[in-house]
Structures are given as C-alpha cells and as structure tokens.
Structure 1
Amino acid sequence: MKRRLILGVSVIIILLCVYLYKVGYVNIWINGMGAIFHNTEHYTDVDSEMISETFRFKIDLMNLETNEGIEVFNDGVHTINVNKVGHNGSVSSGGYYISFAASGIYSIEGASLISAIESKNVGYNISTTNLISRLKANYKGIEYDCSLQGIGGLGDSFSFYIFPSSAYDNGDITLNETGVVELELINLYKNVWRRID
C-alpha cells in the first residue's frame, strides 16, 4: 500500500513537472524575461511604444557613491535607477560615466520593461537593440550631449559617458570635478511582450 502511494505521488510529480516545462513555466523561472523575449512563437511585441517625456535628476561628482540608487523613473511597476556613477581613471578611456538599471515584470502571460532601449526579436535567436533615449548633462552652465557607453541584456542595463572627449581636451572637465550635474533623460521605450496563444 505504501509503495503504491509513493509510486502514485511520484507519477503525479513527474507529470506536473512535464506540464510546467511544456507550458513554459520552467524556462521562464530559469531564464526570466529573456525566455519570453526569445520565444517569438508564443509572444509578440506589437504593444511596445515610445514614452515621450523628459526625466530630470541630479548627480554629485564630489561623492560618486552617493548617486547609486537615485530613482529616475517609477510608474509603480517599472523602475529605472542610477546603478553607478564613476570614471575609468583616464580621460582617454571615456572619463565620467553613468550606468542605469531598469526593472520590469514578467509572467507566463508576458513581460514589460521600460528602458532607454528598444529591444526587438526579429527572428529565431536574432534580435536588435536601438537607443531611443537621449541623455543631456548641464554642468557649470554648459550643456553636453551624452554618448552611449553600453547596453546589457534586453536593455535592463545601459550606460552613457557624461561628458564628450572635447570637454576634457579643452580643459572644461577634469577627473577631479566636485560639482553637481543636472541630467535629463529624454524619451523612454516601453517594451511589451504579450502571449499570443
């Protein structure tokens, strides 16, 4: 009797695991939002859209660590925070940079992520990323256009150089700045992936 019970429970557990795997729960549990993004057979991104707004915030160059966690965007579901402000120790390697961390939501029904990046899956394991946002810096009364440093994942991490190389070349900026930089993140992109079956 006890043996039958163990066998029956084992069969139920195996069937449940197979079901969860087939439906996609296991893949999403292991691979998160990426599992949804790469599954073009069951998910579509037709509801994605640009958010045409400007988000203003300030960073302090005197104490770079205090900038970590500054909230740039929060709609109650999605967030974008400052991950790090620093410099590479050399002007020739880009100088000051700012990196951001974006977080969204996902479930078996779909996923969404608001970021500076539009992430598109254009075919089986083929994807593109497009920079949608612009970042502007105002420091000591001078406005600078920030250039992209890098993109990670589906756009859940992205970074910019704060000042152009010309600002270092002509002596406007050094790696020992102590002031406050006013930043504007212009436009965001709401990536939405919905289940289609």
Structure 2
Amino acid sequence: MKGKKKKILFFTLLSVAIILILFWSIGLFRLWTKGIASVADDTHTFNDKKSHILNGESSIAIDLSKLESNIGKELYNDGHHKIYVSWIHKTSEGYEIFFRSCGQYSISKATLISGIQHVTLNEKESTDLITAKMKAHYNGKSYISTWSKLGGINFKDGDEFSFYIFPYNAYETKEVTLDEEGIVYLSVTNLYKNIWSKN
C-alpha cells in the first residue's frame, strides 16, 4: 500500500511540474502576474502598429458638492474597455480627478483604451504620451482642463491618469473656488486605443 501511495504522489508531482513548465514556456505565468504589461513589453512577439486615437467625445457629470459620490462613475464603456473615476479630491492647485482605464489581455493580444498612448520603443525602452484632452463646462463657461499625472501600465488590466478640472487662472480670477457645490460637465476627446497584436 505504501508503494502505491508513493507512485501516486510521484505522478501527481510530476504532472504538476509538467504543467508548471508548460505554463512558464508559453508565458502564462508572466501574463497572470503582469497582465497587459507582459504583452506590451514583449517586443519580440507583439507590436503596437494598429493602435490609434479614437474619434468622438466621452462625457461625465461630476458633483462638486459630494466628491466621493463620483467615484466609480464611468467616462467610457464599450463593453470590453472601461474608464471610470477612481479618485477625486481638492488640492492646493484645485480639483483633481483621476481616471482608471481597464482593458483586456490574453496570450495572443492586449487592448487598452486610455488617455495615454503607451509606446514601446524597443525591448528595453517604452514611453507614455498624453493624448486625451478634457474640457470642463461649468456655470455657462467652458474651461480647458490641464493634465496632472499619467502613469505606465501599473495595473494588471490598465493604467491611471488625472486632470485638474479647472485651470489655475480660473481660481486666480475667482471664477471658481475650492468650495463649489454645482455639477461640472467634463468632456474628453482623443482617447487612445492601445492595441498589441502578434507580429
């Protein structure tokens, strides 16, 4: 009986080892741990030649009287990709809003719609370029929002970027303050569809 248990244990461990080696060799472990970045960083297998700016405008209404109530509101959702408000707060420079982009990835392809173009320069270098433009419509006026932060593909399924809702001069001229209580309508253009497909 002991010999039979040893054989079962041996074959079980051997099977697990073979499966692990197989997963490692086809890149499933890297895909599982790094997500989209594992595809974007693999310049030997994938390229981003099909990536492009999206036409059209996406919009969202933001309640300035209850900032946290805006978290989770969607700016964009096509059923496969999503951009939603991940954080919004007041800083000394004004109202700052963060958007989280979520895409899709698999062994054969990855896609991400974002305000950022993720460009792979070569196998050791990449860069992130700002593409999105945002306008804030408030109290009958339109303001060009300014970029705040952008990041690389720091999440398994995407990235994050942020804007200051109102430009600094709107605070200087007292058109807006850090105590606003109305609804501001944000419109975003030039979202970028990052596509990594096999060479």
Q: Is the TM-score greater than 0.5?
A: yes
Q: TM-score range by the shorter chain?
A: over 0.9
Give the equivalent residue in structure 2 for 1:72: 75
Q: 1:55 aligns with which of 45, 58, 70?
A: 58
Give the equivalent residue in structure 2 for 1:159: 162
Give the equivalent residue in structure 2 for 1:11: 14
Residue identity matched to 1:73: Y
Give the equivalent residue in structure 2 for 1:143: 142
Give the equivalent residue in structure 1 for 2:49: 46
Residue identity matched to 2:38: A
- State the identity %: 35
**1:30 is aligned to 2:33:** yes
Offset at residue 153 of structure 1 (A): 2.7
Runs ≥4 residues deviating over 6 A = none
Offset at residue 53 of structure 1 (A): 0.7
Offset at residue 164 of structure 1 (A): 1.1
Q: Secondary structure at the match of 1:18?
A: helix
Q: Secondary structure at the match of 1:156?
A: strand
CA distance in 2, matches of 1:8, 1:82: 50
Unaligned runs of 5+ in 1: none
Query: Over the residues paired in the alignment, what is the CA RMSD in angstroms?
Result: 1.3
Q: Secondary structure at the match of 1:108?
A: coil
Deviations along 1:77-114, whole A, 9 cap, x unmatched? 001111122112x2xxx211111011011111111100
CA distance in 2, matches of 1:4, 1:64: 62
CA distance in 2, matches of 1:56, 1:30: 33
Q: Given that residues 118 and 152 in structure 2 are in contact (C-alpha distance below 8 angstroms), is that contact kept between their aligned partners in structure 1?
A: no
CA distance in 1, matches of 2:182, 2:63: 6
Residue identity matched to 1:146: S
Calculate the TM-score normalised by the size of structure 1.
0.92
Calculate the TM-score normalised by the size of structure 2.
0.92
Moved more, 124-133 or 106-115: 124-133
